[in-house]
């Protein structure tokens, strides 16, 4: 599999990607990939630094004749989202990614690919290793924990970098030049509840929602993809309203930045209502599948009999929970009035865990407008507090305000047009969290831009990177390096 990837063009890029993907690198468990990058830098004889939070900086002097150009920072994040299909046996803590070529795409076998942001990391590695690529002085910045808190970017202190221009290689459309992004905040609702012994006349059922595509909770939040937590709550709410269904456990979703693909619940119902309950649930499941047949053709909802759970939730808490999850906004809250087609503010109900007397609901609220971000976050807080939950805000990070007068933007747009038969690039902000906004707090004078190759299905096992796009992107990178302005 690795040999197949390494044979792709450009070889330098894909070989470094294969090297990187052999190293386990889930968010918050980056020790091995940090050491890998340090060994890479020192092995090249380059100045290599690990800062106090784990970011790695590798510095390479300008090539001959480029010493008078501005110093650039090339930046990507080391961690990757770890998602896998339910039937895939894989340990992200110990295994490298199993890749294969599928036509014009590189994919992984049942897991996320790590092209987000591994292709950016591999690009920088290839340039650092090269002996024949023209470039100005480079400060390569490899940040940690971008996907689950951006703590690497937040922890990078001022004064470590001296570059004038930052090239962030974390955009996923090859015709796009990013000049802005959304900020975000984690909204977490928790509470405890009393459990009751399940009455003898009740029987157990398991409800499973699976087969959804999932995806990036920012870039794809407007696409109409199914959210397993919202679908599950719809089924539970209906089951209670019509048959007195009682909840024992719910386990739905996983990471805040991934649209939830699966949810499972263990419930109890009156044995006397079993036939009608199964019929009603299957009818509702079919209705939901019809609603989502275009976007979610592989959606599966299974109602299966299981051993009766020993305990169920307090009735009042259950009613409050299902109503709160129904009321809590999921999806787009507001579109940008200034940039056509851009989602301004959204929320992803990413995680619902109910078990052993504890409730935990995790959301990620995003917005390119700070006041709107907090407006939606407070709306969610009010919704969950009405059910007796305690609500915490954490992981707050700022957005990146667009600078349409950027000097590096003025360099890149003509290059893109030259390389692509006069086609205009799409200069835009995105509804994802990029590290540029955070890095800009300590480096306010740094001119920043973001771009990258086509990556589809990021944050899901359907993640794939386009081979022809990587070739287009690589040529773009090399030409940009040649034309960095003079100091």
Q: Which residues are catalytic?
A: 79, 146
Tokens of 73: 């920072």
The residue to which tokens 């020192």 are assigned: 42
- Say how many C-beta atoms besides its own lie within 10 A of residue 457's C-beta: 23
CA distance 452 to 176: 8
Q: What are phi and psi of 409, to 5 degrees?
A: -60, -40
Whether the Cβ atoms of residue 296 and residue 227 lie closer than 8 Å to each other = no
Q: Bridge-partner residues for 278, per DSSP?
A: none
Whether the Cβ atoms of residue 26 and residue 79 lie closer than 8 Å to each other = yes
DSSP 130-165: -SS-----EEEEEES-TTTT-HHHHHPPTTS---SE
CA distance 430 to 245: 42
Among candidate residues 415, 218, 240, the one with its CA nearest the CA of residue 313: 240
| HSE value, Cβ hemisphere, 13 Å, CA-based, for 305 | 8
Strand order of the β-sheet with 426-430 is 47-50, 56-60, 138-143, 72-77, 165-168, 447-450, 176-181, 426-430
Buried-state track 412-424, b at ≥16 Cβ within 10 A, e below 16: beebbeeeeeeee
Q: Bridge-partner residues for 355, per DSSP?
A: 358
CA distance 292 to 46: 53
**Strand ranges, E, within 271-397:** 300-306, 311-313, 331-335, 343-355, 358-367, 390-397
């Amino acid at each position: 599999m690795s040999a197949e990837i390494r044979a792709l063009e450009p070889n330098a890029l894909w070989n470094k990607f294969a090297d990187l993907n052999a190293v386990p690198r889930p968010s918050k468990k980056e020790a091995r990939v940090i050491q890998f990058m340090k060994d890479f830098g020192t092995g090249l004889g380059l100045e290599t630094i690990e800062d106090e939070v784990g970011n790695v900086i590798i510095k390479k002097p300008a090539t001959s004749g480029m010493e008078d150009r501005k110093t650039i920072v090339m930046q990507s994040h080391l961690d990757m989202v770890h998602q896998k299909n339910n039937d895939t046996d894989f340990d992200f803590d110990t295994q490298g990614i199993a890749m294969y070529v599928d036509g014009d795409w590189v994919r992984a076998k049942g897991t996320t690919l790590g092209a987000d942001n591994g292709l950016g990391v591999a690009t920088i590695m290839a340039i650092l290793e090269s002996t024949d690529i023209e470039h100005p002085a480079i400060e390569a910045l490899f940040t940690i924990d971008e996907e689950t808190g951006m703590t690497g970017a937040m922890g990078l202190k001022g004064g470590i970098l001296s570059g004038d221009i930052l090239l962030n290689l974390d955009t996923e459309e090859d015709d796009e030049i990013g000049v802005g992004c959304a900020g975000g905040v984690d909204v977490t609702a928790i509470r405890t509840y009393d459990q009751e012994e399940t009455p003898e006349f009740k029987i157990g059922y398991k409800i499973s929602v699976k087969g959804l595509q999932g995806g990036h909770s920012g870039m794809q939040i407007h696409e109409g993809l199914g959210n397993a937590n919202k679908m599950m709550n719809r089924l539970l709410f209906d089951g209670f309203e019509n048959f007195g269904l009682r909840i024992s456990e719910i386990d739905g979703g996983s990471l805040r930045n991934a649209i939830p693909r699966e949810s499972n619940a263990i419930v109890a119902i009156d044995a006397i209502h079993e036939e009608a309950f199964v019929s009603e649930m299957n009818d509702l499941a079919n209705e939901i599948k019809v609603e989502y047949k275009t976007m979610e053709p592989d959606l599966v909802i299974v109602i299966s009999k299981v051993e009766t759970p020993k305990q169920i939730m307090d009735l009042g808490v259950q009613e409050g929970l299902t109503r709160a999850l129904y009321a809590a906004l999921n999806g787009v809250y507001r579109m940008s009035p200034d940039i056509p087609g851009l989602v301004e503010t959204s929320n992803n109900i990413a995680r619902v865990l109910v078990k052993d007397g504890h409730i935990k609901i995790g959301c990620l609220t995003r917005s390119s407008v700070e006041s709107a971000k907090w407006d939606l976050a407070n709306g969610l807080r009010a919704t969950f507090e009405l059910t007796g939950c305690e609500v915490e805000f954490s992981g707050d990070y700022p957005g990146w305000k667009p600078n349409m007068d950027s000097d590096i933007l003025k360099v890149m747009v003509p290059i893109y047009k030259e390389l692509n038969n006069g086609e205009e690039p799409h200069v835009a902000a995105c509804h994802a969290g990029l590290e540029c906004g955070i890095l800009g707090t300590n480096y306010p004078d740094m001119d920043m831009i973001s771009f990258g190759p086509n990556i589809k299905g990021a944050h899901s096992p359907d993640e794939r990177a386009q081979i022809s796009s990587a070739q287009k992107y690589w040529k773009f990178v090399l030409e940009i390096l040649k034309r960095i302005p003079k100091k």
